[in-house]
Structure 1
Amino acid sequence: MEKPICLIENKLDEPLRINQEALQVLQAIRQPVVVVAIVGLYRTGKSYLMNKLAGKEKGFSLGATIQANTTGIWMWCLPHPKKHDHTLVLLDTEGLGDVEKGNTENDSWIFSLSVLLSSTLVYNSIGTIDQGALEKLQYVTELTKCITVKAPGCSKKEASDDFLRFFPAFIWAVRDFCLDLELNGKPITADEYLENALRRKKGSPEKLDLAKKCIRQYFPSRKCFVFDRPTVREELKKLENLSESKLYPSFVKEVHIFLQHIYEMAEAKVIQGGHVATGTLLANLAVTYVDCIRSGTVPCIENAVLALAQIENSAAVQEAIKRYEETNERLLKLPTETLEELLKAHSQCEKEAIKVFMARAFNDKGQQYQKQLGMMLESKLGDLCSRNAQASLDCCQALLKELFQDLEENIANGIYTVPGGYQQFLDDQKKQLEKYQQVPGKGLMASKALQDYLKSLEAAAQSILKADRNLTEKEKEAEVERVRAQAAQQEAELHRKLKEETQKMAEEKEKSYEEHKRQLWAKMEEDRKNQQLEFDRLLTVKLQEERRLQEEGFKKEATRMQQEIEQLRTELQHSRNSGDSCVIL
């Protein structure tokens, strides 16, 4: 993308809506996406940081007046500068709290969508992290009103760890920071500054305490950057046109540290189950959430994931079939000489198709879509066998017509209806049969096509035999028996080959099942590892929070946190012990 484009429009007195042009751009991205969104009050310099992340001086609009310049959510998709085969998706949001907005209630939705869509959320503010700054983070306290994790009717009550599982990493970018990073006379880091600001105190105003509590509960990964003022006040209005040499060195240094952190530490967007999101999936996610908001319902993460799974799994089946067909076209030329050659190519194509499906599919309950793929691949094999047989039949029939053209003309012209004509007929037929057997590439239907052709000549052969006066009646009867015995032998041979092919097809079906099972187990093992990592991360966060609550004197909350930790450990143990079984396709 040469420049940003509006992804979610927020027009005066209208509900939020998706920009279709931006949606198409996002849907075309099949790589994993690292999604960095920035939110904060208007006129706080959010767009400047996003342009720097894009590696551009200009792009997202900065503006130089007290009026907000960005409306809705704007998107810029770029190749990730550090992670190969990843796309960096930057989301710049309209400023929160703009008094000139026609529809201020959309502030909460803009903030919520930024949380739902991003893998890293940057909150941009001016000055210091004080009571005023925390109170302005009212949107964090309203998240549970704007977002639910569990579907309506779910018996399990939502807990803080439900949000922890899905919310992005949180970065607080403090702009125009002019204090010394010291606490009790000792130097501290920006991260320690943030964590100290989030310490809760008994008796604090409820609104202030709630903001701290929500940030700590919902965002397990937190980091802070403090930026000096970029330059003198008079130069700020043309900030995007200033070279780094004209900016304060301390500001430039912190910006570079911030960029490196995002490039190296910001993870790809992951949804429920540890599935890494592509641009295509992110686009569908945005549509699902915006449609919910437009309909007046609260976006539900579990419902969104279920809807996405249906879309992605259906697409995964189609993509797998397409890969099968492309690989098949590249590997196989019909007709094949043997069934083994055909089955070997099918097996290789099937393996590729299942691999493609597994890479994209997720949350496939009961392997519903994998079963569907299995049935479609089985049908593809049947179709392949039919096309292979028809190609062989067409080839053989054309060859037989060419080889036996003179013989058929002789029959039509009565050449063989003379004394000794039957033997001449047999000699001519034998010559053409030998030529037929020597031609390569006839395929699996060579014997069947020949047998059918010889049957078509039986009436003419019998007529020639009867007309041959050189043969006695006894010789003619013996010849009839010979021909009948030969036909029976050929029929038996065809039945034997058919039985062998049927056995090989059964073996191929078993191999197909084993391949599905092998790749399914591999994917399940990967999912279990991802789940293990998620549990470990949540457990670490909860233990840290429980310890902080004890230190701060919130005994009841610490006890509830201990109960959540024990519940999490129970789930973790259950996950380790459980072993999902493969479904026979």
Structure 2
Amino acid sequence: MEIPMLAPICLVENSPAGELRVQQEALQVLAEISQPVVVVAIAGLYRTGKSYLMNRLAGKRTGFSLGSTIQSHTKGIWMWCLPHPHSGRAGHTLVLLDTEGLGDVEKGDGKNDVWIFALSVLLSSTLVYNSLGTINQQAMDQLHYVTELTERIKVKAAGKGGRRKGEDSAEFVGFFPAFVWAVRDFVLQLELDGREITEDEYLENALKLKPGSSEQDQRYNLPRECIRLFFPGRKCFVFVQPAGRRDLARLEELREDELDSEFQEQVSQFCHHIWETSTSKTIPGGHVVTGAMLGNLAVTYVHTIRSGAVPCMESAVLALAQIENSAAVGEAVAAYEKQLGQPALPTQSVQELLELHAQCEQEALRAFMARAFKDEEQQYQRQLKDKLDSKRAELCRRNEQASSDRCTAALRELSQELEERVREGGYSVPGGYQRLLDDQREMVDKYQLVPEKGIMAAEVLEQFLKSKETVAQAVLQTDQSLTDKQREIEVERARAEAAEREAQLSQEMQARTEQLLQDQERSHQEHVQQLTAKIEEERRKLLAEQEKVLALKQQEQRRLMREGFLELAAQMEQHMQKIRKEISQPPHSGCVIC
């Protein structure tokens, strides 16, 4: 899928008054992306070189504005959509989000910064936090935005009592992105107690908690606890200064050989890690987010923030589900019509027509199930079923009309001679009645040989013969070669033949009705079968999601126990017990399609 984006564009504008607005141009770009998206966002203090890393992730030297002064260049959230550069992510789109620098003294609005950070978390599948120097207490204090996430974001919709009680980090972890801390202009040696350590070990050491319960200890521990609880899966990269101070102002203009070789290697490792490990953006249940869905999520979250409310992830997902499920119904109907094409009508049997409909219905259902999610009451699947039932009824009507038109045309042509003789009085002679019968039988025999008449052949013939009964009776009554007794016999014979034809026609129509009823049952079973498969697939995705969260929690619990924080480890165990309970619960079967 080609994405014609030569440069980034603004996704969320941050006006001078501090109002956030989603930009229509960006939404139009996202609306055209039906592929899964891997969303990498970067956040951090202003003037820390965030845009440079994002340009390198895009495989470019320029793109996101770097700026060269102490002023923050990026305002709001800027977006760049590109074909994913990693072969393992073929068919995916890489969406890079460069966010406005946090802590800009000229802006003077800390609350606005928190919302920018919250949107970075909500929209991304990988969040890069960019900082300068070292991971020290000052760096932790600057990351106070993470401590406010639970006040700025809700996982579940609140009841009448307001904010839903009992939300824990396990629920947030299911929504939150992978976390990567990028430390720029790093000047220390990666050593601890005289031994070399990895970048990840450096981060974990910086995140160690301080024992004690004083206010100072709590203030020290709070950002660390939040990072550990919300982002149990995390990674760290350190970068030396890329060039001399004099050259930093023109970083994007420097040739490769003008950049520090160690810095180049560090950037290369960082980019490959992000490309290889960043997963598709998903929402709870494991449903993969497309570009169009990402745009709708951005609109929902920004609208909620502008209204003064707290964004609720569950509510946003449900709102997104309504949009996607409505679109899924339309997409399914389009798939039906595409599969149907211009069918050759009339068909020779009802069964042939119903088999065609069944093939189209299966294709429509596959299209619907591929896109729909959280249709827990099957509201949208029932809408689709009603539409497909209407399509079948319309197809049957068109088939009957095509058959009726063809049969009527054939009888009109075959009966021309007979009609002309009637008009000329050719049967108003002694023996005329028998001659009329012979001509009618000959015409009927020829009609039966006409190919591809369709399912209305008998019914149209019966209607035609009924329309000629008055003429036949008139000829019978005026045929002087017949006695009264013979006329009575002929009347009874004609009545018996008509009754036999009607009985055969009635049986044929009954058989047709039974075939339609059988197809309704087939359709019902097809819907149930595909729904069951969908529920099982969603269950597998949910279990995989919960198992992943559980594994991350267990990893963090072991860290806490090693550090001696047994009380926090016990709290973590309670969180994990909730997850284990959810995993062990039998799947919800859902409603049966009516």
Same fold (TM over 0.5): yes
Matched, 1:168 2:184: no
Shift of 1:303: 1.1
Report if aligned partners of 1:12, 1:103 keep a CA contact under 8 Å in 2.
no
Q: Deviations over 1:163-222 (max 9, x none)?
A: 011000001111111222111121111111111111111245433311111111111220
1:177 corresponds to which of 176, 180, 186 = 186
Give distance in 2, aligned partners of 1:255 and 1:432.
88
Q: Which residue does the alignment assign to 1:208?
A: 220
Question: Shift in Å at residue 324 of structure 1?
Answer: 1.2
Which one-letter code corresponds to 1:538 in the other structure?
Answer: V
Q: What SS does the corresponding residue of 2:249 show, helix, strand or coil?
A: helix
Q: CA deviation at 1:408?
A: 2.1
CA distance in 2, matches of 1:402, 1:102: 89
In the TM superposition, what whole-angstrom CA distance separates every residue of 1:234-265 from its partner, at most 9, and x where no partner exists?
22222222232321111111211112112211
Where does residue 147 of structure 1 map in the other structure?
153
Give percent identity, aligned residues only. 57
- 1:48 deviation in Å? 1.4
Deviations 1:317-349 (A, max 9, x none): 22112211221225x322211111111111111
Q: For structure 2, list consecutive stretches of 5 or more residues without a partner in the other structure.
A: none
Partner of 1:53: 57
Equivalent residue number for residue 89 of structure 1: 95
Q: Does 1:64 align with 2:64?
A: no
Q: Deviations over 1:135-155 (max 9, x none)?
A: 110111111111011111176
Structure-2-length-normalised TM-score: 0.94
> Per the alignment, in what secondary structure is the counterpart of residue 480 of structure 1?
helix
CA apart distance, 1:293: 0.5
Q: Indicate conservation of the 8 Å contact 1:335/1:444, yes or no.
A: yes
The answer on whether the counterparts of 1:34 and 1:86 sit within 8 Å (CA) in structure 2 is: yes
- SS of residue in 2 equivalent to 1:416: coil
Q: Is 1:540 the counterpart of 2:551 in the alignment? A: yes
Question: 2:46 matched to which residue of 1?
Answer: 42
Match of 1:393 in 2: 404
Tell me which of 186, 193, 207 is aligned to 1:198. Answer: 207
What is residue 465 of structure 1 aligned with on the other side? 476
The corresponding residue for 2:446 is: 435
Aligned partner letter, 1:54: A
**Residue of structure 2 equivalent to 1:501:** 512
Note the alpha carbon deviations across 1:19-59, whole angstroms, 9 max, x for none.
Answer: 11211211221111111111111111111111122222222
Say if 1:128 and 1:337 are closer, same or farther in 2 by CA, change over 3 A: same
In 2, Cα distance between equivalents of 1:14 and 1:460? 89
Residue among 517, 520, 531 paired with 2:528: 517
1:86-110 Cα shifts (integer Å, max 9, x gaps): 1111111111111122655311111
Alignment map for 1:246-325 (pairs within 5 Å):
246-325=258-337
Query: How far did residue 379 of structure 1 move?
Result: 2.5
Partner amino acid for 2:547? D
In 1, the alpha carbon distance for the partners of 2:346 and 2:165 equals: 59
Q: Over residues 482-519 of structure 1, what are the superposed CA-to-partner deviations in whole Å (9 max), with x where a residue is unaligned?
A: 22111111111111112212222222122112211221
Structure 1 pair 277–157 and aligned structure 2 pair: CA distance change class (3 A): same
State the 1:8 CA deviation. Answer: 0.7
**Worse-superposed segment, 362-371 or 192-201:** 362-371
For residues 100 and 322 of structure 1, the distance between their equivalents in structure 2, rounded to whole angstroms, comes to: 52
2: CA distance, partners of 1:241 / 1:466: 109
Match for residue 569 of structure 1? 580
Matched to 1:467, the amino acid is T
**Which residue of 2 is the match for residue 424 of structure 1?**
435
2 CA distance for matches of 1:323 and 1:521? 21
TM-score by length of 1: 0.95
Give the ranges of 4+ consecutive aligned residues of structure 1 lying more than 6 Å apart after TM superposition: none
Select 1:99's aligned residue among 87, 98, 105: 105
1:29 aligns with 2:5: no
Q: CA–CA distance in 2 between the matches of 1:560 and 1:548?
A: 13
Q: Give the C-alpha shift of residue 14 in structure 1.
A: 4.8
CA-to-aligned-CA distance 1:264-302 (integer Å, 9 cap, x gap): 110001101111111121111111101101110000111
Partner of 2:387: 376
Distance in structure 1 (CA, Å) of the matches to 2:107 and 2:588: 54
1:218 aligns with 2:227: no
Distance 1:174 1:78 in 2: 26
Code of the residue aligned with 1:563 in structure 2: it is: Q
* CA spacing shift, 1:243–1:461, aligned 2, 3 Å: farther
Secondary structure of 2:488's aligned partner: helix
> Which letter maps to 2:283?
I
2: CA distance, partners of 1:395 / 1:51: 67
In the superposition, relative to structure 1, how do residues 380 and 8 fare at CA in structure 2: closer, same or farther (>3 Å)?
same
Greater shift after overlay, 221-230 or 107-116? 221-230
Tell me which amino acid in the other structure corresponds to 1:138: H
* Aligned equivalent of 1:526: 537
Give the Cα separation in 2 of the matches to 1:14 and 1:99.
14
Cα deviation, residue 558, structure 1: 2.2
Structure 2 contact 369–534 (Cα < 8 Å) conserved:
yes
Question: 2:18–2:112: 8 Å Cα contact kept in structure 1?
Answer: no
- Cα distance in 1 for partners of 2:103, 2:534 equals 45
Cα distance in 1 for residues equivalent to 2:589 and 2:358: 26
Letter in 2 for 1:89: V
Query: CA offset at residue 578 of structure 1?
Result: 4.1
* Equivalent AA in structure 2 for residue 201 of structure 1: K
Q: What SS does the corresponding residue of 2:62 show, helix, strand or coil?
A: coil
2:533, 2:268 → 1: CA distance?
40
Task: Provide the rounded CA distance (Å) in 2 between the counterparts of 1:59 and 1:136.
Answer: 27
> What value does the CA root-mean-square deviation take over the aligned residues?
1.8
Asked whether the equivalents of residues 80 and 96 of structure 2 are also in contact (C-alpha less than 8 Å), the reply is yes
Over 3 Å counting, the alpha-carbon distance change for 1:432 and 1:81 in structure 2 is farther
Alignment correspondent of 2:376: 365
**Partner-residue secondary structure (3-state), 1:293:** helix
- What is the identity, as a one-letter code, of the residue corresponding to 2:438? D
Amino acid at match of 1:239: L
Moved more, 551-560 or 435-444: 551-560
Moved more, 260-269 or 76-85: 76-85
Paired with 2:156 and 2:121, the residues of 1 have a C-alpha distance of: 16
Q: Distance in 2 between matches of 1:495 and 1:122?
A: 74
Hey, what's the Cα distance between the residues in 1 that align with 2:304 and 2:31?
19
Q: Check the 8 A contact 2:157/2:164 in 1, yes or no.
A: no
- Given that 1:328 and 1:349 are in contact with CA atoms closer than 8 Å, whether structure 2 keeps it comes out as yes
Q: In the TM superposition, what whole-angstrom CA distance separates every residue of 1:373-430 from its partner, at most 9, and x where no partner exists?
A: 2232222222221221122112222222232233223322323222333333333333
Q: Which runs of 5+ in 1 are unaligned?
A: none
Secondary structure in structure 2 of the residue aligned to 1:571: helix
Matched-pair contact (CA < 8 Å) for 2:283–2:289: yes
Structure 1 residues 578 and 104: alpha-carbon distance in aligned structure 2, compared to 1, 3 A threshold: closer
